[in-house]
Structure formats: C-alpha cells, structure tokens
Amino acid sequence: MVKTHGLTHIALRVKDVERSSLFYQKIFGAKEMYKQDDFIQVQTPNSKDIIVFERRDPVFGKEKNIIHFGFRLQSPADIDTAIHEVKEAGGKIKERGEFVPGEPYLFFYDPDGYEIEIWYEKIPDSVKDFQ
C-alpha cells in the first residue's frame, strides 16, 4: 500500500480560466493559489484540495471520463444555501433530493458543463476512527 494524504487535486479543461475561478469562488469560497494566463489553481477553505483550471481545447458538456465530482456539506441544512449560490453564480441545477432521509444532495453544472455534486453524508462511527 502506498501511503498518501488522499486526493490532492483535479485538473479541468475549461474555456475561460477567469470565469471558472470566479464561479468556484462564488459557490465554495475558493481562493486563487497560483495564476497564469492559461492556468489558475484554487483551493477551498479549510481544505488541502486544489482545483486546476487549464485553458485547453475541450468538448464542453460531453461526458467523457469524468462523470462528476463532489463536495461534502458540513451540515444538511446548508443544501438550500448551496442551491441559491449555484443559481446566483450562473450554474444550472440538474437534480436535488435525498439519498436517504437526512442526507440531501444536489447535482448541478458549472459554466463549462462539468457535473458537480454537493451532498451531506452522516459519517458512521466506524469511519470516524480514520479521521
């Protein structure tokens, strides 16, 4: 087994790096860490994750190898705030619901057509031991 600190980043092909950075700043409070003309890295608050936006020649809105990626809510009550923020930032809501009672989810699209999930998961006691 290779010991790691977990997934560190995801790199996305985007049409406009500035637009993508601003979208994730508005919804998740992301902060720009590194910035070049065709490349911006952002990090979400209180995390070690990085989202990299790279200006490339993608096919937007077409599912390829990435089906979706997700962010875990700290409180299930925040799902309505998430919906509001996505709409305000110009995202498109795909679906909302609950996986099981008390575990709400939201699927939406960012400006480049990437599908994103925001959800809350009750963490079982057996998993809390690993945190």
pLDDT digits (tens, 9 = 90+) for 45-89: 988 889 999 998 766 555 566 778 999 898 999 999 999 999 999
Question: How high does pLDDT run on average in the chain?
Answer: 86
pLDDT at 124: 66
CATH code (residue 55): 3.10.180.10
Identify which of 62, 68, 117 has the alpha carbon closest to the alpha carbon of residue 93. 117
Give residue 127's pLDDT.
Answer: 47
Lowest-confidence segment of 28-42, 51-65, 111-125 by average pLDDT: 51-65
77 within some domain: yes
Is residue 62 included in any domain, yes or no?
yes
**pTM score, two decimals?**
0.79
